[in-house]
Amino acid sequence: MTALYNIFAVTGPALTTCGAGLLAYDVMRGPMRLIRRQQHAGRLEAAATTRDESMHRFEMPESEYSTQEQAVVAKIDARFDSVVDRLKGRFESAVTQEYDRAFYLGVAGLVLVGVGGICETAAALLAWAGHAR
C-alpha cells in the first residue's frame, strides 16, 4: 500500500502541474494570435498602399494607354490580387490550425489536471486508510 501511495503522491502533483502548464500556455497564445493577425493585416495593407503609390507615378488618362499597355497593367493587377488571395488563404488556414491546436491543448490540460486531482485524492485516501488502522 505504501508503494501505491508513493506513486499517487508523486504522479498526482506532476500531472496537475503539467496540465496547468498546458492551460497557461494555451491562454498566453491568445494574445500572440491577435498580434500575428494584426501584423498580417498591416503587411497586406502596406503592400496594397505601396502598389497604389508606385502606380500613381505612371498615371495618365486611360485613353493614352495602348491596348497592349492596358493588358499588361491588368495582368500585373491580376497577379497581385492572386498573390494576396493566396496569402490570405494560407493565413486563414494557419489561423484555423492554431485554433484547433489551442482547443486540443486546453482539453489535454483539463484532462491532466483532472487525472492529477484524482491521483492526489487517491494518495490522500490511502494515507488516511493507513492512519486509520
74, 110 Cβ separation under 8 angstroms:
no
In the block, residue with C-alpha cell 487517491:
122
pLDDT band at 11 (very low <50, low <70, confident <90, very high): very high
Q: Is the pLDDT of residue 132 over 80?
A: no
Nearest 10 degrees: Cα torsion 48, 45, 100, 86: 0
Mean pLDDT of the chain: 83
Of the two residues 97 and 117, the one the predictor is more confident about is 117
The predicted model scores a pTM of 0.61
28, 109 Cβ separation under 8 angstroms:
no
